[in-house]
Amino acid sequence: MSVLGSVVHWFRLDLRVHDNLALRNAINEAENRKNFLRPIYIIEPDILKQIRGNRLRFLIQSLHDLDANLRKLNTRLYIVRGKTSECLPELLKKWNVKYLTLQVDIDPFYIKQDEVIENFCDKNDIFVVKRVQHTVYNPQTVLKKNNGNVPLTYQKFLSLVNDIQVKECIEIKKEISEDCKSSDFNSKSYDVPSLTEIELDESSDFKYPGGESEGLKRLLTYMAKKQWVCSFEKPNTSPNSIEPSTTVLSPYISHGCLSARLFYHKLKQVESEMRHSEPPVSLLGQLMWREFYYTAGTGTENFDRMVGNSLCTQIPWGNNKDHLKAWSEGKTGYPFVDAIMRQLTQEGWIHHLARHMVACFLTRGDLWVSWEEGAKVFEDLLLDYDWSLNAGNWMWLSASAFFYKYFRVYSPVAFGKKTDKDGLYIKKYVPELKKFPSEYIYEPWKAPQSVQRAAGCIIGENYPKRIVDHDKVHKENMKKMSEAYKINKEKKALKRPRSD
Ligand code: FAD
C-alpha cells in the first residue's frame, strides 16, 4: 500500500480534458493534499465482447488520445482491466485513495456501478465527488422546475430552460506537479491497449477517428462555417448524401470527447453575429433535443423498455426473427432501407432522417417488430450510441411516446427519391445494384428480367426479393396501431380518479 494517499478521477463517458470539472477537482485535490493523481479508465471484459468493431475502435482511439492529452498536463491515463465492482474497490484500497471524482452518468449500467462503489467508499471513508457535465443543463434542475415531472414536449422543455444561465466551460491551465506522480507512473501494465491487441484492424483509414482532439477539430471546422451554421435547418439536410449533411459530432459528444456545453457556447457565439435559424430546426435546436431526451431519461423509470415505462404506449409488437435479421443485415429487398443499414454497419453513423426511415420501417411502418429490438441493434452498431437518445428517439419513431401521428409512415420507395433521384447512395452501399438504371433503383423488383440481366443482378438471386409489400402491410399496421391507441386510452381513463 502506498504511504502517500492517492486521488482518483474515474473516466467513463467524459473522455476529455477540456471542460471536465470532475477531473479538475481531482487535480486540485491531489495538489493540495500532496497526493498521487491517478486518472483511470476501467475496461470491463464484457465490454470487449459486447460492443462491435467500430464502436470499440472509436473507444480505444479515444483512450489513446485522452492519455496523450493527460501527458501534456504531466500526468497519464491508468487503464485498469477487470469487473468494476471487483477491481475498483481493490485498487482504492491498494492506492490508499481518500478522494474519488467522477461524472454523473444516467445509463442504468453506470447507476448500478455507482451504487456498489459509493457504498464501498462510504464504508471506507473515501470522499466521492460527482459532477453533472455531460449535458448543458442539469436534468434534475429541469425536472425540479417542472414539479418533478418530465416535460412531455420539446416546447415545454425549452420554456423550462429558457431562464437557466449556462455556466462557462472549465479550463485546466497549468501542468500538474511532479509530486503527484506515483512510483508506478511509467508502468506499462496500465497502458492503453493497441487496436491490434484487441484484434481490430490498425491499418485502415477510418472515417470518424475517435478522440477529444478529433472532436475539437471537427467542432472548430464547423463553427468556422458561420453562414452554414446560421442557416442550418435539419429537415432540409439530406439523409442520403454521400458526405454527411450534418456535423457528425454525435460520436464525440456521446463518448464525452467533446463537451456539449462547449458546443453550446460556440453556437451561441456564432449565432450572436448574424441572423440564424431557430429551434427546433437550428443546430442549437438539435443540441436541445439531446437535452430534452436526457431530461426524459433521467425522470422516467425503465425509459429503455416498453413495459413499466410510464411514457410509453403499450403496443402488441410481433416477433418475426427473420424480419429482424433481414433488417439488421440490410437484406429487406428495399434498397433504400438496406443501404442505410449497411452504411450503419460499415461506418457506424447514419443521418437522423435515415434513422427515421429504418426505425419506422422496422416498427409501425412495415415489419411490426418492437422498437426495443431495433434499439439493441443500434446500440451494437452506432458510434454515437447513447442510452437516453437511443431509447427516446426509438419511442418517437415507433409512435410509442412524444410523437403520436402514427399514420405518418415513411415510404421506403418515395422518401429517398426526394434527395437522391438517381440512387447514388444506394449504388454505393448496395453494390449489387450498381448497374441498375435509376428508373428501378428504389424498386428493383419492378425491373423486367432483361433489365436485371443487363445490370448483372437478378432479384431473388443476387439481391433479395422484398420481404414485405409496403403498400399492403403498412395499412394493416395502421389498423393495429389504431387499436393499440384505443386500448391505451381506455386503460388511462380507467386509472383517472373519478370527479363525482
Ligand atoms: P447534428 O444534426 O449535427 O446535431 C448536432 C447534435 O445535436 C448531435 O451531435 C446530437 O448530439 C444532437 N442531436 C441531433 N439530433 C438529435 C435528436 N433527434 N435527438 C437527440 N439529440 C440530437 N443520437 C445519438 O447521439 N445517440 C443515439 O444513440 C441516437 N439514437 C437514435 C435512434 C433513432 C431511432 C433516431 C431516429 C435518432 C437517434 N439519435 C441518436 C439522434 C440523431 O439521429 C443523432 O444525434 C444525429 O443524427 C447525430 O448526427 P449529427 O451529430 O450530425 O447531428
pLDDT > 60? residue 452 = yes
Q: Which amino acid is at 453?
A: R
103 lines ligand 1 (CB under 6 A): no
- For a substitution probing ligand 1, which of 106, 219, 393, 394 has the most ligand atoms within 8 Å of its CB? 393
pLDDT attached to residue 500 = 52
Is 497 a residue whose pLDDT tops 80? no
* Total H helices, total E strands in the chain: 21, 5
Reference 451, options 435, 434, 432, 469; nearest CA is: 435
Q: Which amino acid is at 409?
A: V
Residue in 262, 357, 384 to alter for ligand 1 test, most ligand atoms within 8 A of Cβ = 384
Ligand 1 centre and the CA of 25: distance in Å?
30
Residue among 247, 352, 400 whose CB has most ligand 1 atoms within 8 A, to mutate: 352
Q: How far, in Å, from the CA of 389 to the mean position of ligand 1? A: 7
Least confident of 153-157, 170-174, 422-426: 170-174
Using pLDDT thresholds of 50, 70 and 90, give the confidence band for residue 499: low
- Residues 54-65: pLDDT tens digits? 999 999 999 999
Task: Name the strands in the sheet holding 78-81, side by side, starting at the edge strand that comes first in the sequence.
Answer: 78-81, 36-43, 6-11, 97-103, 127-131
Q: What's the CA-to-centroid distance between 439 and ligand 1, angstroms?
A: 32
Distance between CA atoms of 434 and 489, rounded to whole angstroms? 48
Query: Distance (Å, rounded) from C-alpha 392 to C-alpha 388?
Result: 6
295: Cα within 13 Å, side-chain hemisphere: 29
- Chain mean pLDDT for the chain: 96
Answer for the pair 121, 252: CB distance below 8 angstroms, yes or no. Answer: no
Q: Which ligand 1 atom is the nearest neighbour of the CA of 356?
A: 36
| Each residue's pLDDT tens digit, 101-154 | 999 999 999 999 999 999 999 999 999 999 999 999 999 999 999 999 999 999
ipTM field = 0.99
Q: How far apart are the first and last CA of the chain?
A: 70
pLDDT in tens, 67-79: 999 999 999 999 9
Q: Which amino acid is at 199?
A: E
Atom 15 of ligand 1, residue of closest alpha carbon: 286
pTM greater than 0.95: yes
Q: What is the CA radius of gyration of the chain?
A: 25
What single DSSP character describes residue 365? I
Tens-place pLDDT, residues 253-288:
999 999 999 999 999 999 999 999 999 999 999 999
Instruction: Work out which ligand 1 atom sits closest to the CA atom of 374.
Output: 34
* Best mutation site among 134, 262, 389 for ligand 1 pocket (most ligand atoms within 8 Å of CB): 389
What's the 468 CA to ligand 1 centre distance in angstroms? 28
CA of residue 149 to ligand 1 center, whole Å:
24
- Residue 498 confidence (pLDDT) above 70: no
Question: How far, in Å, are 157, 246, 261, 281 from residue 276 at the CA level?
Answer: 21, 16, 19, 11
Interval 331-368: pLDDT, tens = 999 999 999 999 999 999 999 999 999 999 999 999 99
C-alpha span between 92 and 362 (Å, rounded): 46
Instruction: Retrieve residue 472's grid coordinates.
Output: 399492403
CA 350 to chain centre: 12
Assess contact for 328 and 417: CB atoms under 8 A: no
Lookup: cell for 66? 485522452
What is the rounded distance in angstroms from the CA atom of residue 210 to the CA atom of residue 213?
8
Cell of 339: 443501404
The more confident residue out of 53 and 229 is 229
Read off the pLDDT band of 46 (50, 70, 90): confident
pLDDT value at residue 199: 81
334 lines ligand 1 (CB under 6 A): no
- Angle at which helix 84-94 crosses helix 108-123, to 10 degrees, equals 30
Indicate whether 205 pLDDT > 80.
Answer: no
